[in-house]
C-alpha cells in the first residue's frame, strides 16, 4: 500500500471506528434508592413503578403508570373495570395496618425490555391506536412470605412519547399476541443502560 492510499484509508478507518463506538454507547438511566429505574421515559421505569405501586399500596402511582383506556367495545369496558377495581383494592389494602402476607415487599430484578417476537402487536398498536412501540419487561419481586414472583409486564410507548404499562393484556389480545409464549428474560436492564444514581 503506497503513502497516498494509506492516507485515504486512515480517515475512513477512523470514521468507521467512531461510528462503531457511537453505536455501542449505552443510554443513561437514572435509578432510585432501591437500585431500579422509575418514570415514563423508559419501559423498564414504568414496569418497576407498577411493582412499586403494589409494594407501597399506592393507587395514584398505579393509575398514573397505566395506559389510559383506549379502543372501544367490551375490551375497553373490561380494561376500565379492571383499573377501577384494582385501584379500589389498593386503596383498601393501604388502610390496613400491615400489608398482605402474600403481597410484594421489594423488587429483586428488572430485566431489559424486549420486543415481542410477532410483528403483529406493534403494527396493530400503531395502525389502530397510534402507539409508537409495544414491548414487555419481566420484573421479579420478593413477596412478604419470602417467595418470589415474576410478572411479565406489557409496556406501550404512547403518542405522547411516554411509556405506560398495560396491566391487563388479556383485554387486548391483538396487542399482546404471543406475550406469554416469549422465553424467559436473561438480560438485566443494567446490561443495556449506563446507571446514574
Tens digit of each residue's pLDDT (9 = 90 or more) over 34-73: 999 999 999 999 999 999 999 999 999 999 999 999 999 9
Half-sphere exposure in the Cβ direction for 127 (13 Å, CA)? 8
Half-sphere exposure in the Cβ direction for 1 (13 Å, CA)? 7
Rounded Cα gap, residues 136 and 177, in angstroms: 12
Q: Name beta bridge partners: 196.
A: 30
User: For residue 38, how many other CB atoms are within 10 A of its CB?
Assistant: 19
Degrees to nearest 5, angle at CA 44 with 151 and 29:
150
User: For residue 24, how many other CB atoms are within 10 A of its CB?
Assistant: 7
pTM of the shown model: 0.86
Q: Does domain 30-196 have CATH number 3.30.70.580?
A: no
Mean per-residue pLDDT pooled into runs of 10, the chain (197 residues): 43 43 76 97 98 97 98 95 97 91 94 94 96 98 95 98 97 96 96 93
Tens digit of each residue's pLDDT (9 = 90 or more) over 4-22: 444 344 444 444 444 444 4
CB-based contacts of 133, cutoff 8 Å, min separation 6: 115, 122, 125, 156, 157
Rounded Cα gap, residues 160 and 163, in angstroms: 9
Is the Cα dihedral 49, 151, 55, 143 positive or negative? negative
Amino acid at each position: 500500500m503506497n503513502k497516498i492510499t494509506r492516507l485515504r484509508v486512515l480517515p475512513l478507518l477512523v470514521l468507521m471506528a467512531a461510528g462503531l463506538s457511537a453505536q455501542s454507547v449505552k443510554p443513561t438511566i437514572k435509578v432510585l434508592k432501591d437500585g431500579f429505574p422509575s418514570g415514563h421515559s423508559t419501559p423498564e421505569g414504568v414496569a418497576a413503578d407498577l411493582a412499586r405501586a403494589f409494594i407501597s399500596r399506592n393507587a395514584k402511582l398505579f393509575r398514573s403508570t397505566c395506559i389510559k383506556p383506549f379502543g372501544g367495545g367490551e375490551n375497553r369496558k373490561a380494561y376500565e373495570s379492571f383499573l377501577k377495581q384494582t385501584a379500589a383494592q389498593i386503596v383498601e389494602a393501604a388502610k390496613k395496618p400491615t400489608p398482605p402476607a402474600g403481597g410484594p415487599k421489594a423488587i429483586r430484578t428488572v430485566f431489559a425490555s424486549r420486543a415481542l417476537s410477532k410483528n403483529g402487536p406493534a403494527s396493530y398498536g400503531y395502525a389502530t391506536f397510534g402507539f409508537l412501540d409495544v414491548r414487555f419487561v419481566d420484573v421479579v419481586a420478593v413477596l412478604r412470605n419470602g417467595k418470589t414472583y415474576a410478572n411479565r409486564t406489557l409496556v406501550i410507548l404512547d403518542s405522547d412519547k411516554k411509556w405506560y404499562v398495560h396491566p391487563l393484556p388479556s383485554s387486548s389480545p391483538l396487542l399482546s399476541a404471543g406475550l406469554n409464549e416469549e422465553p424467559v428474560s436473561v438480560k438485566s436492564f443494567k446490561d443495556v443502560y449506563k446507571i446514574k444514581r
